[in-house]
Structure 1
Amino acid sequence: MSNSARSLPDVAYVAQPGLSGRLDWVGMDDIQAPVMLVGEDDQPMRFPARVGAFVDLARPDQRGIHMSRLYLHVDQALSTQAVKPALLRTLLDGFLASHRDLSSRALLRIRFDYLVRRRALVSDNAGWKSYPVVLTAKLEGGRFDLELGLEVLYSSTCPASAALARQLIQQRFRADFSTQDLLAREQVAEWLGSEQGICATPHSQRSSAEVKVRLREDVESLPFVDLIDCIESALQTPVQTAVKREDEQAFAGLNGGNLMFCEDAARRMQSALDRDARITDFWLRASHFESLHPHNAVAVASKGVPGGYLGGSTV
């Protein structure tokens, strides 16, 4: 520190607080910073991020923390190194080392959109998909906790609505051919291919899967794509990027073959996440933005680890 810096007043350090008390978290949120990640092709990718950096204020007699120290740690680490669990642990260690006399725990939260190149279902096309990601790391009492959260958009078609639509189609079929006892196969096929034949369709809607997973302390990399693939494979109907008519038809087939209430979607994801040994706990929420009514259908599930996400009590 320069002599001029030493001469500047530091009210947070020398002044006593008007009221004493320990504070759970103090720091900065929405710090603008880049995050560098290694892509599937082992090439580095940079994403603009918003970062939260916090420590507790364990000493009730101290007025404040050294926020500039948190900022400099974040800037120096994220500007030069790829984000991995080891880097996040080192960053939290730095938070506490720079507040050795004030704090006993540290928290880091990084929010950004992760881009993945996705191929079309049938046609020879591809496009980019953006997945909102939140990384949360905490260090307390020597224990390092790491949580990866993301959102996946998918399509859901209501099973009840599908059954009601099928009934209307049956009724129309009986009415249109009420005078005929025998029908040729091509005659039926032609009717099914007409607008009159498909006189009712089930309601379907864009839906959201919000997932938070706690990773084992010994994981060496962040499984962004693995987790995205896990959720999309479980649901089978992720929203698409580049879409030609053949892709749209294939997507219609996927929706028809994967009729889902929100409860079905939540259980599919629950089963898939249960099988990943890297995940110690998880919380998920399936939200169907219904086209039938103005409110959403929601289902929440968790692994139910004691002391973890508390059996899905967070909605």
Structure 2
Amino acid sequence: MNSLTIHEQRLPDVATSDAAHIRTTLDWVGMSEIALPFRLLDADRGEIACQGRAQAYVNICRPDVKGIHMSRLYLLLEAFAEQQLLTPRSLSDFLADKLATHREISDSACLALRFDLYLRRPALKSDHQGWKAYPVELLARLQQGRTQLELKLSIPYSSTCPCSASLSRQLLDQAMQREFGDGDSIDKAQLSRWLLSEQGSFATPHSQRSYAHLRIRLAPQQAFPLQALIERVEACLQTPVQTAVKREDEQEFARLNGHNLMFCEDAARRIKRTLDSMVPVEDFWLKVEHQESLHAHNAVAIATKGVAAGFKVELGG
């Protein structure tokens, strides 16, 4: 009888001991949808506690190798998330450590994190505030000895159609002409009462919730500029969606929309100019999507920074 216990016996590992039946390389092998709490360093907010889902991969560059050590990737990721603050530098070091666990079969590694960044936003006029969640994806690749960091952000905002606003003003003018005739003078008090009545809302322009979807390639730095990116984009658009809203806040939101009429082309140009001015941004791809209340389809504009060997002007996100 074998005196070795089950823990002392060498357990078989066919994934790495057997040769591949079909001899070919594989671009990425690993795991997705890994539940992961972690701490991220933001350039403005400092340390932020996050919860997200991770994908961890290495490649197989030897065609004879059957598989990878998935448990090594998982345990290394768990230890990294628990013990270290997520920064561009620590993320680069983690990819190097991950690649070292598969140095015999791999020459590339990547990590993708998907999470919501929560920012507390004040109301426009009142003293209230509330939380807003911004979907974020962080992708890090180590290939040919170089780490590349990419961020994906989605930022919601409101857009009011300039064409619809113009047509609404024309209808309001026609209604006012019918109400007050062709006289040389109009009683201001009477005009004010008419404008404040339901008749004053003769026509309204269409507005819709809209989204700026961004892909950002980051230059090397000490922390992630997540809050700065969001705030700069919201500031250039000037109509971010709100959290806590009282009547004075809603009125101010209506004023902001009225003073910032924009087609999707206008929004894309505002964002492009803003990203062009940000030093941490090496390259970008942006897509603005106005989810029309007039049409059954969306209005879209896409732009890139236009650097050599950078993001292509592709239609997908």
The TM-score range, normalised by the shorter chain, is over 0.9
Match of 1:101 in 2: 104
- Deviation by residue 1:101-138 (Cα, 9 ceiling, x = unmatched): 11111111000001011111111111111001100001
Secondary structure, counterpart of 2:86 in structure 1: coil
Match of 1:285 among 271, 287, 290: 287
Q: Does the 8 Å CA contact 1:288/1:297 hold for their aligned counterparts?
A: yes
Please state if 1:271 is matched with 2:270: no
Please state if 1:119 is matched with 2:122: yes
More divergent stretch after superposition (85-94 vs 34-43): 34-43
Match of 1:193 in 2: 196
Please state if 1:66 is matched with 2:69: yes
Deviation at 1:243, TM superposition (A): 0.5
Report % sequence identity.
Answer: 49
Within-5 A mapping of 1:218-229: 218-229=220-231
Q: Does the 8 Å CA contact 2:45/2:227 hold for their aligned counterparts?
A: no
Amino acid at match of 2:273: S
Amino acid at match of 2:160: T
Match of 1:208 among 207, 211, 216: 211
Secondary structure, counterpart of 2:23 in structure 1: coil
More divergent stretch after superposition (79-88 vs 60-69): 79-88
Match of 1:90 in 2: 93
Deviation at 1:191, TM superposition (A): 2.0
Deviation at 1:305, TM superposition (A): 1.6
Match of 1:47 in 2: 50
Please tell me the root mean square deviation across aligned C-alpha atoms, in Å. 1.8
With the length of structure 1 as denominator, give the TM-score of the two structures.
0.95
- Deviation by residue 1:52-87 (Cα, 9 ceiling, x = unmatched): 001111000000111111111110011222211011
Match of 1:140 among 140, 143, 166: 143
Match of 1:35 in 2: 38
Distance 1:122 1:290, change over 3 A: same
Distance 1:185 1:40, change over 3 A: farther
Moved over 3 A (4+): 2-6, 38-45, 311-315
Distance 1:312 1:174 in 2: 49
Q: Does the 8 Å CA contact 1:96/1:104 hold for their aligned counterparts?
A: yes
When the two structures are aligned, how many residues end up with a matched partner?
313
Match of 2:178 in 1: 175
Unaligned stretches of 5+ residues in structure 2:
none
Deviation at 1:313, TM superposition (A): 5.2
Q: Which has the higher contact order (CA 8 A, sep 6+)?
A: 2
Match of 2:161 among 158, 163, 171: 158
With the length of structure 2 as denominator, give the TM-score of the two structures.
0.94
Distance 1:5 1:85 in 2: 41
Amino acid at match of 2:180: F
Distance 1:58 1:191 in 2: 76
Match of 2:10 among 7, 10, 30: 7
Match of 1:253 in 2: 255
Unaligned stretches of 5+ residues in structure 1:
none
